[in-house]
Structure formats: structure tokens, C-alpha cells
Amino acid sequence: MSRGQSRPSCRSGRLLIVSASMIGIWACQSQPPPLCPDVYSNITVPVPAATYAPLVPAFAPINAATAPGATGTTVSIVSNQGTVSFGGRGPFQAFLYGKEPFPATNSIVYSGLGVENGTWFPLVLYCSGDGRLTRVFGEMTDRDVIVFDDVDGTCTDQGVAPMAPVSLAANTLSPVALTCGFSVHGPSIDLEGSQNGSVTFLGTDSIALPFHTVDCRAGCGTPGWYELHTIVWNQVRQEVGFEIIYLDDKGVSTSNGIELPDGTMTAVGPFSGATWSLSR
């Protein structure tokens, strides 16, 4: 699950899909599939203490905040780190690790991760070209749900101080929700809905726990795709990652994740020979 593998030549195309997916979610899920049964993994995932401090920052840091007095979904980010709350949870510690443009709406989307003991909160902030924070997408590893809220706030990368190292306390992910409706099998991946699964990175087996799906088979782009948002635990390396596994007409691949404790972006590329099917 480390970045030790080289990045494939198809990365630029995949990044375009990732960007479209993040900003197309509300269209894709306007008619969501039936809810999955409440199923949870029997595995407790220990996450070591970590310091997120990229040697070479991938993008200029931002300040982002919802309007003073906001309740419900709130954001307070200074130089890429701070707190976020959504879905009745938080405020919890959060930091930003990715940035993608969305020219169609003159917006930028920032990927981030919220952390508290027991749960991770993958999130995306939507920043308009005129300096407004307009939407927050969020999910939580202990529930098969998403939050996608309109917000009123500000967002800027002008005059922002460099990002300081982010100190993350050791935490434990438990329970981790197990989402449903898919089957993925290949030489290096084995996933079934509502079950613990496995993936192999760089010859090392990892436990895979898909906790939420995003259906982008229609309304997000052409051709469509399907996403499995997954916690991946490499017990040998003692690494825990948030991965997005993509199912599309080209097969099965992964990208746009982050792993702790080293804080690097997760491995990117296809699962050769893998096939998939959906049941909802």
C-alpha cells in the first residue's frame, strides 16, 4: 500500500475521472440505491500516531471557513488544517491533502481527512473561483452514509501561511461499516458486499473494508463508473489507508487515497485481471 510502485501512464485520465466523480456525486446519487443492511467488520484497525508533513507540498495551502455562527456543517481550516463538523459529528481534527480543478463550474475541490478515535471522516471542500466555500461532501467510516451540504463561507489561497506539520494521535478504527451490492475478484483483489475483503499492494496482502459506495454509472460522466470507498490495513507495514476503488469499463483500479502514518498518497493503478459485478 506504499507509494513504492511507479505511477502508470493512465494517471492523468484517472485524475480527470476522480475530479468529475467528486463534483458529480449529487447528480449521481439523486436517486440512491436501496440502503444496505447494517453490517460491521469484526476487525479493529489500529492506526499509529502520525505527523503529516509533505516534503514537497502538492498545492498552495488554503484558509476555508463557514460563516460565523454557522451550525450543523462547519469548517474552520487555516493553512490546510483545523476542524470540520458534519452529520451531527464533530468538530473533529481535519487536514487537506489533495486538490483538483473543476473548470465547468469555475471551482476547485480539496480532498481531506478528518480523524477522531474510532472513526475517519473523508471529506471534500468545494471552493468557487470568487473565493466562496459552497459545499462540503463528507462520509464516515462507521456508517454507510454521506453528507453533501450547501454552505456559506470563504475559501482562499492568497496570503496563506505554509502548512505546518499535522500531529495525529494514535487512534483505532472500530466499528468499520461494510457496504453492499458488489463483487470484485482478481489475482490481487477479493471483495464481496457486507464482508471483510483483501487487496495486494507490492506483493503484500492487506485487509480491505469497503464502507461506502458512490454510484456514478449515470449523471457523472461518460463512460460511467462505480466507487468503493475503502479502509485498507497493511498489517505487515502497519499502514492504514483510505482508498477509492473504481469499477468501470476498463476494469478495476484505485487512486485518490491517503495512508497513515507516513501521510503519502496511496498507490495508483489497475488491478490486472480483476472483474466486477453489481447487484443493486
Q: What is the pLDDT of residues 197-246, one digit of tens each?
A: 999 976 789 999 999 999 988 877 778 899 999 999 999 989 999 999 99
Q: How far is it, in rounded angstroms, from Cα 47 to Cα 240? A: 6
Q: With contact defined as beta carbons under 8 Å apart, do 207 and 43 qualify? A: yes
For residue 20, pLDDT beyond 60: no
Q: Quote the percentage of the chain above a pLDDT of 70.
A: 86
Confidence at 267, pLDDT banded by 50, 70, 90: low
Question: Which residues share a beta bridge with 216?
Answer: 225
The mean per-residue pLDDT over the stretch 171-190 comes to: 97
The mean per-residue pLDDT over the stretch 131-148 comes to: 96
34 vs 42, residue with greater confidence: 42
At residue 57, the pLDDT reads 87
The torsion defined by the Cα of 279, 228, 151 and 33, in degrees rounded to 10, comes to 0
| Average pLDDT of the chain, as a whole number | 87
For residue 275, pLDDT beyond 50: yes
Residues 6+ apart with CB under 8 A from 60: 157, 160
Confidence at 262, pLDDT banded by 50, 70, 90: confident
Q: Which residue has the cell 454557522?
A: 70
C-alpha cell at 241: 489507508
The mean per-residue pLDDT over the stretch 155-165 comes to: 96
Phi-psi region of 182 (alpha: psi -120 to 50; beta: other; left: phi over 0): beta
Residues 6+ apart with CB under 8 A from 222: none
Q: Is the peptide bond before 261 cis (omega within 30 degrees of 0)?
A: yes
At residue 10, the pLDDT reads 30
